[in-house]
Structure 1
Amino acid sequence: MSHKILEGEGSVFYRKLFALVLPIAFQQFMLAAVSASDALMLGVISQDSLSAVSLAGQITFVFNLFMGGLTMGTSILAAQYYGKGDRAAIEKIFAYVVKISFLISTCFLGASLLIPDILMRIFTSEPKLIFGGVEYLRVLAVSYLFTGISQIYLCILKNTGYAMKSMVIGSTAVVINILFNAALIYGLLFFPEMGIAGAALATSVSKLIEMAWAYIESLRKGRVRLRLKHCFAVDKTLARDYWKYTLPMLGDYLVWGIGFTMYSVIMGHLGSDAVAANSIVNIVKNLIISFCTGLANGGGIIVGNELGMGNLKQAKKFGAMLWKMAVISGVISGLLLIALSPLILNVTALSTLATSYLKWMLILCACYMVAKSINMTTIAGIFPSGGDSKFGLICDTVTMWCFAVPIGFLAAFYWNLPVVLVFLIINLDEAVKVPAAIVHYKKYGWLKNITR
């Protein structure tokens, strides 16, 4: 009898999980597809265009770190309060976060308009790459404002039972982005041929459409809405709770993300061939890892719902199921990357040296997919669902800033190691994190109801 009950619980869990994971994973895949389309389309123009946009994209990457921290903090509280059935609390959190996101987005918009050349010089000293990146950033700047608002809307949809709708909005915006990419980069139909600037304009237009659609969707009956009264009359208790769990998450995103950006700085000073190969491998990795990202986000929402309802024993069981799925999805992702490597090498128009770098980088990425999947599911999914957001900050600070970044700089600029070995060193942080993640998971400090 108990065996049948467990089977029933398992089937309910997997139905809930895949109802969340598949839309989120598909949305992540489509977002990565934008970068892939930029790379493929600009790579046809020139390798320098590809490299310039890849480096300029690091500014967007840093912006997305802030957005990732804000949305993860929102998700932690929204998932638990949705499990509890407290809609009013979710609307208060929603309004507060939109206000914070608007301020951050405005800062990135201003920097990209006013000092794009200074931003580009952080990543490269090659004039042709700086020039291309400046052109891209000035047109892209306004998209930060649209993205900052739309991402909070989509986060709330995912955490209040409308993950499929969030996926439809986000994915449609991606399709529009890709279509406009082709039209504006090459000047198809009646559109002007804009090259790099066309890729940036396509992103800005698609993000405007995404923001408008998300807002209209929130006006439908039964949706959590943005109420202006909550923007001005802040619930101080909820705001304190929000920052209690968000600041460590935001710190973790920035520590990890700026460390990852330093990897691009290291690769960016090893020549255009290294930049191009690193750009392609990051795009491919993001496409392949999208299911693991969906597993982490969707699993975190389900565990958070159970914790918000006070079902700690159920949440613990679901966490164990997620752990096993993380290992399986990591293995499958690695094998898929190896299987696709010959195709990737054939469709990318890179120099002979860059293609050689890319071949080995793809193999190395495939080898650490299991570690990446485990870390994402635990550190970015299970742990934050119960408010345990500090572990990731500590873990990434140690593994990246005490190990990968300094050793990477030494390998590249002091020891003058080959490009592929430098790439290996700066990607070892995922393997180093796994033992710590396993130990921390077994302590079950994340198993908490944090609602009031």
Structure 2
Amino acid sequence: MSLFVREKGFYKSFFWLTIIIGMQNLISVGVNLSDNVMLGGYSESALSGVALANQIQFLLHMLVMGVCEGLVIMSSRFWGAKDLGTIQKAASIGMRMAILLSIVLWIIVFFFPDEVLSLFTKEQSVIAAGVEYLRIICFSYIFFAVTSSLLASLRSVETVKIAFVVSLSTLVINICLNYVLIYGHWGFPELGISGSAIATLTARIIECLVVIVYVKRFDRKIQLKLQNFLQFDRQLFKQYIRVGSPILLSNTIWGLAMAAQTAILGHMGEAAIAANSIATTIFQLVTVIVYASASATAVLIGKTIGEGSMDKIVSYAKTLQILYILLGLLTGAVLFLIKDLVLGFYSISDEAKTLALHFMTVLSITVVGTAYQMPALTGIVRSGGDTRFVLYNDLIFMWLIVLPSSALCAFVFNLSPLVIFICLKSDQILKCFVAIVKVNRYKWIRAFNS
């Protein structure tokens, strides 16, 4: 068997989906980056406060994406089998679950913002700034949930252009409103952190409305209607829970783990919080293609299994692994080369700037591991039907190895933020050894009822 797939259609589908989803992700990250950069030029306390508040947004993102990934895995198989009626029912289930999770998180954040942010740091100036931002931005959670679930349904049937257009409009709106509301340009009042939150909330509302209009007026594949969301298929819901609950749990513990990582660094001072925020945001910016490759893989593998073309799966998996490594090497090189340039946009202390440089250097190495193991496990293994493995893998690495060792380094041995950051990111390399074995045994190919 040849190492590389020789079908032009495979490469066309993979790179088309990866590029379009990557551009969407790039623009989505750009929304956070615009907040990050503009507030970084406003004050370090504002930057740090919003960085902590965005950990709640990240947790919401992981929860909603957990729902959406389960939806994509199921619906892409139905798309391969041309079963549009079941895709409509699955979309209804995904929408309900995403909205429910967003409401629960909104209640917690709106009524207990101080208590939530106090879990990350004891710096009162940072907490105060974060609360100011959080009380406004939390109203965007439901709009984000609706938008994400609708786009996931469209992505499962290979409709991805609309997500790019929506994300681009959101970015433009957010940047313009950030400019006028944070600093008070063009006759608007100077609102600082509140202005940034209002800008993002407005952008989220508009993007939600655009997606709803597209689904109602222009989509010709799924043809979703309001009555689809009023119906409930109990049997399909049970199937969704069986397939999707491990993904949701995995994303939940990952989101909580990221919050725990921020809390560990947050207790080391404002400079460490700011440096981590900058490094993480730039990392997200340059790794959009990496994460997009996982989403593209989920659609391709799911659709291929749905079509019944099981003979193609092995060669697809081998080729994809090579592509992941090449993407990782490219991404690592880009991150390393731009790290000095991007820090010129921030007005932060020398300590925070030095830490950010060190953090980005570490990430430029570990991203090679991320680029391989993340799409291999969440793209190939999950979409192949083994949705529980990633959950168990994350539990072991993150909660039994990474977080305990990092906490010991921070609170017992009092080591430097750089050493702690290396510990926090070590799993990205360690998971590669597990991914190599798991993917190449091919025991992850299974039906939903397995």
Q: TM-score, normalised by structure 1?
A: 0.96
Deviations 1:26-84 (A, max 9, x none): 11111111222112111111111000000011111111111011000101101111111
Correspondence 1:334 to 2:332:
yes
CA shift at 1:299, angstroms? 1.6
1:141 partner SS: helix
Structure 1 gaps, min length 5: none
1:322 partner SS: helix
Correspondence 1:71 to 2:62:
no
1:214 aligns with one of 211, 214, 219: 211
8 Å contact 1:20–1:164 — kept in the other structure?
no
Name the CA distance, whole Å, in 1 between partners of 2:342 and 2:167.
26
2:212 partner SS: helix
CA shift at 1:135, angstroms? 0.6
Deviations 1:100-150 (A, max 9, x none): 222221222222222111111111111111111111011112100100111
Report the equivalent of 1:313.
Answer: 311
2:71 partner SS: helix
8 Å contact 2:243–2:387 — kept in the other structure?
yes
8 Å contact 1:259–1:400 — kept in the other structure?
yes
Cα distance change, pair 414–6 in 1 and its aligned pair in 2 (3 A): closer
1:183 counterpart letter in structure 2: V
Report the equivalent of 2:409.
Answer: 411
Name the CA distance, whole Å, in 2 between partners of 1:351 and 1:444.
50
Name the CA distance, whole Å, in 1 between partners of 2:121 and 2:17.
40
2:131 counterpart letter in structure 1: V
Using the TM superposition, name which of 335-344 and 265-274 deviates more. 335-344
1:243 counterpart letter in structure 2: I
Mapping of 1:377-396 within 5 angstroms?
377-396=375-394
Deviations 1:374-431 (A, max 9, x none): 1221111111112211111111101111111011111001000011111111110111
Report the equivalent of 2:25.
Answer: 28
Report the equivalent of 2:288.
Answer: 290
8 Å contact 2:92–2:231 — kept in the other structure?
no
1:245 counterpart letter in structure 2: V
2:122 aligns with one of 118, 121, 125: 125
8 Å contact 1:310–1:449 — kept in the other structure?
no
1:250 counterpart letter in structure 2: L
CA shift at 1:451, angstroms? 8.6
Deviations 1:304-333 (A, max 9, x none): 111110111112222221111100000011
Report the equivalent of 1:325.
Answer: 323
8 Å contact 1:77–1:451 — kept in the other structure?
no
Report the equivalent of 1:81.
Answer: 78
1:100 counterpart letter in structure 2: M
8 Å contact 1:412–1:422 — kept in the other structure?
yes
Report the equivalent of 2:371.
Answer: 373
2:211 counterpart letter in structure 1: A
Report the equivalent of 2:357.
Answer: 359
1:366 counterpart letter in structure 2: S
Name the CA distance, whole Å, in 2 between partners of 1:335 and 1:427.
18
Paired-residue identity, %: 29
8 Å contact 1:334–1:369 — kept in the other structure?
yes
Mapping of 1:124-273 within 5 angstroms?
124-219=121-216, 220=218, 222-273=220-271
Name the CA distance, whole Å, in 1 between partners of 2:175 and 2:319.
36
8 Å contact 2:65–2:148 — kept in the other structure?
no
1:45 partner SS: coil
2:120 partner SS: coil
CA shift at 1:280, angstroms? 0.4
8 Å contact 1:80–1:450 — kept in the other structure?
no
2:77 partner SS: helix
1:364 counterpart letter in structure 2: V
Using the TM superposition, name which of 408-417 and 380-389 deviates more. 380-389
8 Å contact 1:97–1:152 — kept in the other structure?
yes
| Runs of at least 4 residues off by over 4 Å | none
2:429 counterpart letter in structure 1: A
2:101 counterpart letter in structure 1: I
Deviations 1:246-287 (A, max 9, x none): 111011111222111111000000000111111100001101
1:18 counterpart letter in structure 2: F
CA shift at 1:234, angstroms? 1.6
Q: TM-score, normalised by structure 2?
A: 0.96
8 Å contact 1:95–1:228 — kept in the other structure?
no
8 Å contact 2:79–2:306 — kept in the other structure?
yes
CA shift at 1:233, angstroms? 3.5
Report the equivalent of 2:51.
Answer: 54
1:376 counterpart letter in structure 2: M
Report the equivalent of 2:400.
Answer: 402
Report the equivalent of 1:420.
Answer: 418
2:249 counterpart letter in structure 1: G
Mapping of 1:71-110 within 5 angstroms?
71-110=68-107
1:283 counterpart letter in structure 2: T
Structure 2 gaps, min length 5: none
What's the Cα RMSD here?
1.7
Name the CA distance, whole Å, in 1 between partners of 2:324 and 2:367.
10
Residues matched between the structures, number: 448
CA shift at 1:226, angstroms? 3.9
CA shift at 1:221, angstroms? 5.1
1:207 partner SS: helix
Correspondence 1:435 to 2:428:
no
